[in-house]
Amino acid sequence: MLSLAGTTMFRLNSSAGVSPAREPDVSSGKDGAFEFSSVREGDWILRAEAENIDRGVAFVGVRKDIDDVRIHLEGPVEILGTVVRSDGSTAPMNGINVMLTPMDGVRGATGNTDKVGALRIEDVSPGHYRITAIPRSGGYYVASVMVGDVDAMRQPALLSDSSPPLRIVLKAGGRLSGNVEKGEDSKLLLVPQTVSPGDIVQVYPCGAGGNFELTGIAPGDYYAIAVAHFDPPFKAGFEGVRTIMRDATPVRIDEGALTSVHLKAPVDLP
């Protein structure tokens, strides 16, 4: 049994979005108290919402009955950030799209860095997020998005009114050039070989004759495949991932190096 005092609607989600497990929502009684009964053992995110304005979050490990847990209600927060090169020097400012993907059931948020590399995203609900950051141009890729000591590109990070500013770290990437057979007006998906359903995948336009040249690619192993009728970003589905793995060309990108590749005619993803 988990109980606490307060007002408003409360919900329990499994911690950090690792599992879709969730307990039924409860609301407080007239005396301000409420209770979750028969909570499964594990780590949970406890969230409170009052009239969609005040919000609060707490993190509880349920191993036995817990009483008198208190949760602090707070409004939406403002998330700030800066962009730097990996060596700490000032980064080129061509704009970076930043997407906050919630791990605990709240709405996401997006923002863009300005011409001096500053980021400001308003009205963000406190909670755990994974962060995707995509440069709009230039020969750099985002190597990490640090929230304190946590790289939010690789694991969820807590964003709240006490979170440190985001630190978006850029590195010079590799280049990929080539052409697509019968690829006029086609688009190129360059997909990490570790892609999973639901991952965001960038889509690049091909030029005249199906030619393309990409810069600022993170080093690693990829699948390259030409497609039609998709706009960036593309969110891979189960059948899409299967098609990519079956029909794509494996490509290795090395830091600072140029890789060339010829691709088959475009395919339609499910």
180 and 157 in one domain?
no
Separation between Cα atoms, residue 187 and residue 178, nearest integer Å:
12
Asked whether residue 229 falls in the same domain as residue 182, the answer is yes
Lookup: tokens for 150: 């946590």
Q: Is the pLDDT of residue 170 over 60?
A: yes
Q: Please indicate, yes or no, if residue 62 is contained in any of the structural domains.
A: yes
pLDDT on residue 22: 63
Domain-ending residue, one of 120, 147, 172: 172
Q: Which of 129, 153, 172 is a domain's end point?
A: 172
Domain that holds residue 254: 174-263
Q: Are residues 136 and 200 in the same domain?
A: no
Return the pLDDT at 32.
58
pLDDT at 6 > cutoff 70: no
pLDDT digit string (tens) for 128-151? 899 999 887 778 899 999 999 999
Average pLDDT for 180-194: 88
Residues 65, 122 share a domain: no
The answer to whether position 269 is within a domain reads no
Residues 86 and 142 in one domain: yes
pLDDT at 30 (0 to 100): 61
186/258 same-domain check: yes
Query: Does residue 113 belong to any structural domain of this protein?
Result: yes
pLDDT at position 153 is 94
pLDDT at 17 over 60: no
99 and 159 part of one domain: yes
> Would you place residue 70 in the very low, low, confident or very high pLDDT band (cuts 50, 70, 90)?
low
Q: What is the CATH classification number for the domain harbouring 64?
A: 2.60.40
- Going by C-alpha positions, the residue among 46, 53, 112, 51 that lies closest to residue 79 is 112
Last residue of a domain, one of 127, 149, 172: 172
253 — pLDDT class (breaks 50, 70, 90): very high
- In this structure, the answer to whether residues 89 and 166 fall within a common structural domain is yes
Look at the chain and report how many structural domains it folds into: 3
Answer yes or no: do 190 and 231 share one domain. Answer: yes
- For residue 214, being part of any structural domain is answered with yes
98 and 53 in a common domain: no
Residue 220, domain member (yes or no): yes
pLDDT of residue 62: 58
Instruction: For residues 170-175, give the mean pLDDT.
Output: 91
| pLDDT confidence band for 234 (50 / 70 / 90) | low
pLDDT above 80: residue 68: no
- Sorted by sequence, the CB contacts under 8 Å of residue 116 that are 6+ apart come out as 93
CA Rg value for the chain: 22
Phi, psi of 17, rounded to the nearest 5 degrees? 70, 15
Tell me the average pLDDT across 73-101. 83
Average pLDDT score, the chain = 79
Lookup: tokens for 108: 């996401």
Q: Write the CATH number for 201.
A: 2.60.40.10
> Pairing mode, if any, of strands 150-151 and 118-124?
unpaired
* Domain-located, residue 159: yes
Would residue 55 count as lying in a domain?
yes
- Banded pLDDT at 60 (limits 50, 70, 90): low
Residue 268 lies in a domain: no
pLDDT tens-digit series, residues 192-208: 888 776 676 778 889 88
* pTM of the predicted structure, to 2 decimals: 0.68
Whole-angstrom Cα distance, residue 170 to residue 91?
Answer: 7
Q: Are 108 and 21 found together in one domain?
A: no
Indicate whether 160 and 187 sit together in one domain: no
Checking if the pLDDT of 1 tops 70, the result is no
